[in-house]
Amino acid sequence: MVHTVADGFPYYIELTEGKDIKELFTSNDTFDLLHCLTEEQGNISYAPGKWTIKQLVGHITDHERVMAYRAFRFSRKDETVLSGYDQEVLVNGSRFTELPLSFLISDFEKVRTASNSFIESLSPQQLQLKGTAWIFTLTVEEFLRATIGHELHHVNIIKERYLKL
């Protein structure tokens, strides 16, 4: 790995290298893992001040919504520079801890279905269009790769830190 999580999108993109974008989005590996978790596990945090698994699932879902929106805008040749977002504000403003884990997983699956529909509509040329969000100028495909890389990063954290408790 050349990049670290502190590098943001380049790190996430690197986690997906060599894999087909459509295959990345149609993989059920994350959902298979999440469906094995109990409601009790959804409420755990691996350390004080860290998110619960429910909050992580909600965050991954929110991130995919934001990234798909960015990719959508850029795939339509919208050159508007889009702002970043504060993940803490979004998680703190949510109801993730109050909602059942099963609801959060179902919501994530619905967002993924929408993302897959969007990806299916893109031409190879649209995947190569560029846009800027926050400090990153990337192709549509790179925004989509960063979406899955972000998910993979958090799945690794779930496996390495949460499920070892």
Q: Give 47-81 pLDDT, tens digit per residue.
A: 999 999 999 999 999 999 999 999 999 999 999 99
Would you call 157 exposed, middle or buried from its count of C-beta atoms within 10 A (0-12, 13-18, 19+)?
Answer: middle
Query: Would you say 58 and 104 are in contact if contact means Cβ atoms under 8 Å apart?
Result: yes
pLDDT at 160: 96
Sorted by where each begins, the domain ranges of the chain are: 5-162
pLDDT band for position 1 (50/70/90)?
confident
pLDDT band for position 146 (50/70/90)?
very high
Homologous superfamily of 5-162 in CATH?
dinb family like domain (1.20.120.450)
pLDDT of 17 above 90: yes
